Amino acid sequence: MAHHHPHSAPRPGGGLDSLTIPAAQRSMDDGSLTAAGLTRAYLTRIESVDPLVRAVLAVDPGAERAAEASDLRRRAGDTRGPLDGIPALVKGNIAVRGHGAAAGSRALVGSRPAEGPLVTRLREAGAVVLGTANLSEWANFRSTRSTSGWSALGGQTNNPHVLDRNPCGSSSGSGAAVAASLAQVAIGTETDGSILCPAGACGVVGMKPTLGLLSAEGIVPISAEQDTPGPMARWVVDVALTVSVLAGRRAAPLRPDSLQGARIGVWRLETSCFDTDALTDTATDALRAAGAVPVDVVLPGTDVVDAHELPALLAEFRRDVERWLQETPGDHPRTLAGLVAFNAGDPDELQHFGQELFEQALAAAPAGSPEAVAHRRQARAAARSAIDSTLATHRLSAVMAPTNSPAWRTTLGQGDAICFGSSSPAAVAGYPNITVPAGSVGPLPVGMSFMSTAGRDDELLALAHAFEQATRARRPPTFLPTSP
């Protein structure tokens, strides 16, 4: 099925769209598919489709060799588990052997970080590292007016559903690539919304695990208090298998009846700018039809989270990025002030927007100061309480909310016209959050997020899988040039 070369004109998925990892493994086991054939199909699709989407920063020259090695292992009866032979892209702020981790910035092109342990773990599991994915430069932490999906190294990534719409950030390339069937899975990173938003906007599944479940080593940091890698894919099962491999544990058991009897909070996110109530109603009906008990909730204290998160991150970013710059070998600035100076002198870096967040981080009270510590303490306490008190009061398994408003038109230099998102409480709390396609507004996808308390990752994956099977809402992108 997946070894036919896709057409040169993009069509929905080119035969790869509906493929799951378990189906690929069955086909490789029975010989109807090879890892080399699957890898070639993705590389061919990148060649034909990525010029429209611009999600891939660099293809890995060792990809086909890794796939052939996987086929040899399989013939010898020596496969390494569910990811063996499965092609994956890695976000460009995660250190990959031979590619470094420039975070989309020309300032880090000369840096030579050691490969991140999670990438090494992917290789050890037999996965095929297809290459690196574009991202919002510096993971969207350079300017208050930055455009998601743009980096000086990769240019602008487009939303594959409607090409003049934004893919959301900062894991823009990872989300757009799996939506466009340019990889089976992709690894993104999130500080707040950077996995959830692109997955929601591009119509795929994205998971931000509990903080600390997956190693953040080898990721160009924003803050150790919130940063985590996480997988993105077209199907919940692929995300579950990837998380299990990266975490070194058994995969979550996914049963389609996991919603039966589950009490699920429904947080509607009252906003003045975009109404997702109809989609939330449809999702709530689907929960009910699957045997769940939906309960309307409003997460308390999100204003407190919003007030303290950025001041905390500014202090932590300066501390954590300077540690990264100083510990990483190679030719690059060693301080945040050095980055600011580099950007000011570079012809490309500041062409569309500035570096106000870098400047604010330089001026902020330092990490470890009473002021910065208080911001972090208040942000985290409010975020944890928002989720935990809601779960406890209503005896819930999870809270469901629309992930974010549909994709806006990309306007370089005018910032992001995102209207709302529900990622902050789980991001600031360090709690797990997973988004699943839930429907569309015209051609633009909208996801529903399922969030819970620390360590409930497997339970969330099971609920998300049941929701996905009940709704079957995901649509392959059709690469419309524009939308009304």
Among 111, 146, 151, 170, which one carries the catalytic annotation? 170
- The residue annotated as part of the active site, out of 27, 70, 91, 244, is 91
Task: Compute the radius of gyration of the chain from its Cα atoms.
Answer: 21
Q: Burial of 155 by CB count in 10 Å (0-12 exposed, 13-18 middle, 19+ buried)?
A: middle
The chain-wide mean pLDDT, for the chain, equals 96
Q: Cα–Cα distances in Å, from 250 out to 21, 143, 163, 246, 477?
A: 16, 40, 38, 10, 32
Whether the CA torsion 461, 400, 136, 108 is positive or negative: it is: negative
Q: What is the residue type of 262?
A: A
Q: What confidence score (pLDDT) does residue 11 get?
A: 57
Question: Rounded mean pLDDT of 210-225?
Answer: 98
* 3, pLDDT greater than 50: no
Give the pLDDT confidence of 112-129 residue by residue, as tens digits: 999 999 999 999 999 999
**pLDDT digit string, tens, across residues 267-303:** 998 777 888 899 999 999 999 999 999 999 999 999 9
Exposure string of 413-428, with b = 16+ CB inside 10 Å and e = fewer, is eeebebbbbbbbbbbb
Question: Per-residue confidence at 6, pLDDT binned at 50, 70, 90?
Answer: very low
Phi, psi torsion values for 480, nearest 5 degrees: -65, 140
Note whether 67 and 38 are within 8 A (CB).
Answer: yes
- pLDDT over 50 at 2, yes or no: no
**Phi, psi of 111, deg, nearest 5:** -80, 150
- Would you state the pLDDT for residue 242? 98
pLDDT tens across 315-325, in order? 999 999 999 99
Q: Average of pLDDT values for 400-404?
A: 97
Please choose, from the candidates 293, 305, 210, 289, the residue with its C-alpha nearest in 3D space to the C-alpha of residue 249: 210
Other CB atoms within a 10 A radius of the CB of residue 478 amount to 12
Catalytic residue selected from 194, 397, 424, 452: 194
Residue 194: active-site member: yes
91 is catalytic: yes
pTM of this prediction exceeds 0.85 = yes
* Residue 13, pLDDT score: 58
Taking the C-alpha atoms of residue 348 and residue 448, their distance in angstroms, rounded to an integer, is 37
Confidence check: pLDDT of 143 > 60:
yes
Give the E-state strand segments of 368-484 in sequence order: 398-402, 433-441, 444-451
Asked whether the bond before 424 is cis by omega within 30 degrees of 0, the reply is: no
pLDDT in tens, 10-65: 555 558 999 999 999 999 999 999 999 999 999 999 999 999 999 999 999 999 99
User: What are the two backbone dihedrals, phi and then psi, of residue 258, each rounded to the nearest 5 degrees?
Assistant: -65, -20
